[in-house]
Amino acid sequence: MDFHLVHNWKGKVKIGGKYLGKEKIFIAGPCSIESREQAMIIAKEVKKSGASAFRGGVFKPRTSPYSFQGLGKAGLKILADVREKTGLPIVTEVMDTRDVKLVSECADVLQIGARNMQNFSLLKEAGKSDSAILLKRGLSATIEEWLLSAEYILKEGNCNVILCERGIRTFEKYTRNTFDVSAIAVAKTLTKLPVIGDPSHAAGRKDIIIPLSKAALAAGADGLMIEVHNDPENALSDKEQALTPQDFAWLMKEVKG
Ligand code: PEP
Ligand code: MN
């Protein structure tokens, strides 16, 4: 397969006004924004530990329609405040083409989640946006399908694309997904776009996030996305995989050496 744009891409990815250079990017924050207080506590803590961007979902792609769906527009306002108070660039998911403009106003990076990796209308709309796009690999997507999805965004003129490996669905049950470290290494051979690893959604459990983070970086990842919560036991989504701010500080020490 010829990846016209991904393969020939020579630009630089810009996040929150700063070009991603040789420095690794560490995106940290809760799975979901639950309240202003929760978001502020976590953002301040992860910033102290060296996070370069804050994440938090307000439009949540939940398997069950009865699970917490996110704060929606009210959550965007909280994210805007976090950006203003901490100076951290904001990463948040957009699920609907109609929300791309609105989310872009509060976010520096629009996340396209695993379940939407082949939502071609959303990819095209994201391609028309000025924001950087964090493109997660789909649950059962091949590396080729993942890169072709990135092509959809680049083809519309948005070159600010970050690829994110977040684990794929396999027969294995000890982990939520299987972290495909080889996909990080392969993607790095096929494109100069930054590739980051999300060991949180791959593992689905907090006790192996540090070794998986190290594995991602050893495979050539340009950064990590890690879920962090101030009260993991009571988190409204993905509580099993959430690190505490203290755990995250430890992770940062371990990976930065
Ligand atoms: C998330 O980042 O919280 C998320 C829902 O991720 P994914 O699309 O990888 O499942
Ligand atoms: Mn999550």
Nearest CA to ligand 1 atom 6: 113
pLDDT digits (tens, 9 = 90+) for 162-199: 999 999 999 999 999 999 999 999 999 999 999 999 99
Residues 198 and 224 sit within 8 Å (Cβ to Cβ): yes
Q: How far apart are CA 60 and CA 68, in angstroms?
A: 8
What is the mean pLDDT of the segment spanning 12-27? 90
Give the separation between CA 4 and CA 234, rounded to whole angstroms.
46
At 216, the pLDDT band (50, 70, 90 cuts) reads very high
Residue with CA nearest ligand 1 atom 9:
114
| Among protein residues, the one whose CA lies closest to atom 10 of ligand 1 | 114
Q: What percent of the chain has pLDDT over 70?
A: 100
Q: What are phi and psi of 188, to 5 degrees?
A: -65, -25
**In the structure, which protein residues have their CB atom closer than 6 angstroms to any atom of ligand 1?**
31, 57, 61, 113-115, 136, 166, 201
What is the whole-number distance in angstroms between the Cα of residue 49 and the centre of ligand 1?
A: 23
As a whole number of angstroms, the distance between CA 93 and CA 116 comes to 10
Residue type, 166: R
> What are the structural domains, with CATH classification, of the chain?
7-256 (3.20.20.70)
Q: How far is the CA of 239 from the centre of ligand 2 (A)?
A: 8
Hey, which of 166, 169, 209 would you mutate to test ligand 1's pocket, going by the most ligand atoms within 8 Å of its Cβ?
Answer: 166
Question: Is 138's pLDDT higher than 90?
Answer: yes
Instruction: Give the other-Cβ count within 10 Å of 114's Cβ.
Output: 23
Task: Quote the ligand 2 centre to 32 CA distance (angstroms).
Answer: 7
